[in-house]
Amino acid sequence: MSDDSRLKKFFSGFHRSFWVANSLELFERLAYYAQAAVMSIFLRNHLHFSEVDAGTLSSIFGGFVYLLPIFAGTFADKYGFRRAFSFAFFVMAIGYFLVGSVGSPLFAPVVHSFPLFWVLVVVLLFTAIGESFIKPSVLGTIAVSSKPETKSLGYAIYYTLVNVGGATGPVIAYFFRDKIGIESVYMVSAVTCGLMFFGTLIFYHEPEAALTQQPSLGEKLRDMLRVLKNGRFMVFLLIFSLYWIMFWQVFVIVPFYLTDFISKNAPFELIESVDAWAIIFLQVIVNRLTKKMPPVTAITIGFGVSTLSWLVIAIHPNVWTIIAAMVVWSLGEMTQAPRYYEYIADHAPKGQEALFQGYAFLPIAIAWFVGGTFGGWLYETLTKSLLVRSGETVQVLGQPTGIWLTLTGIGIAATLLMVMYNAYITKKDKAIAQA
């Protein structure tokens, strides 16, 4: 078979909407991670919130971004993915513009006539509603625009493009923050979403195999109760949320630390993007090395490896050890992430596999709701006596080793809890099989 024939066969395995939806996802992730990379510093250094308030605002935004898709998917299914994409990008463009405007002198007289914290709560919730329509629309499009034999490859392409967006977004954020100003990063995200709004109208066509007879919102709520009543599954998700609480500190604590203890001009966005770049280049290798491991083993090892990243920083904190720590973290993430969905599928009740997969993002939502405020509180508490601020000048009196040891402790707890959980489940499953 010639190269042209192979290429033609490859593309024929997917509807045109598949490629459009994945392109939209790439640029949405670029916009999301560009602003996420600077949010902590924007809120603290530019808008002068405390670390705790900055973390709380991050928690509100990130938490709802990952929680609301459970409900947004119902509307996307009912009204069509094209309308859902259009609505999402329209709202996100306005939302990111408003967040950036809060930090602009041009809009200061209007913004500062209201309590700034609550202005941002409203704007971030508004933006999160738009964001929540993207995941179900992309994943729904992949489900109906891929052939059975190409569906697995379709999700692999999706995962790769998510990481491409996650890697390039912070890099773009760094250059705009450095050359124009930190509020310009939100304008970049707004413009990107605005372009994707028009891209949706021009290029996206509803897949021919449109989903039909989708559950109503009431049925979705009943499904949620079914999931919540499954104690075993909820314990698993709560343990997993500890892992993601650690992960979100890459966007909360790490930027604070780099700009306070390393250099106020530290390229924290570039360092935050190391995790995604490592996944892009190493995911295939790690998958091949770990594919024969049982999912439970891979998940537990992934937890343990990622936990080591905080010890790498604690031993000798500087830019290069933090970069190394991000690579170590990514190795753990690459080990556990693909097997996580496999584990859920294997342990979901018969006939409820799709329902339980729909809640795979719940630990990320839980972690954001907790992790932002927790990270801000932890940093503020353990650095209070180590930093002496005088205007723009910061005098460093010592190292906040306790931060990295606390995060290590969370990782150890998550790993041990996963070991105990799996031992209990394995024992229970064997008992049922022998009965």
Looking at every residue in the chain, the average pLDDT score rounds to: 87
For the entire predicted model, the pTM comes to: 0.88
Residue 222 has pLDDT above 80, yes or no: no
Q: Each residue of 284-331: pLDDT tens digit?
A: 888 888 888 888 889 999 999 999 999 999 999 999 999 999 999 999
How many Cα atoms are found within 13 Å in the side-chain-facing hemisphere of 274? 23
Residue 252 has pLDDT above 70, yes or no: yes
pLDDT attached to residue 215: 60
pLDDT attached to residue 431: 63
pLDDT attached to residue 274: 95
The CB density around residue 431, as the number of other CB atoms within 10 Å, is 9
Q: How far is CA 87 from CA 5, 132, 171, 220, 341, in A?
A: 38, 11, 27, 21, 29
pLDDT attached to residue 353: 59
Mean pLDDT for 238-266 is: 94
Domains of the chain: 12-203 (1.20.1250.20), 215-435 (1.20.1250.20)
At 325, give phi and psi (nearest 5°).
-65, -40
Q: How far is CA 30 from CA 36, 62, 188, in A?
A: 10, 15, 10
Question: Taking CA 138 as the corner, what is the angle to CA 132 and CA 140, rounded to the nearest 5 degrees?
Answer: 100
pLDDT attached to residue 350: 67
Residue 432 has pLDDT above 70, yes or no: no
At 389, give phi and psi (nearest 5°).
-95, 135
How many percent of the chain have pLDDT more than 90? 55
Q: Give yes or no for a contact between 199 and 24, defined as CB atoms under 8 angstroms apart.
A: yes
H/E segment holding residue 302 = helix 295-315
Secondary-structure breakdown of the chain: helix, strand, coil percentages, each rounded to the nearest 5: 80, 0, 15
Q: Each residue of 321-361: pLDDT tens digit?
A: 999 999 999 999 999 987 887 787 676 776 665 567 667 88
Q: Each residue of 144-189: pLDDT tens digit?
A: 787 777 776 777 788 888 899 999 999 999 999 989 999 999 999 9
pLDDT attached to residue 153: 73
* Helix (H/G/I), strand (E/B), else coil: 204: coil
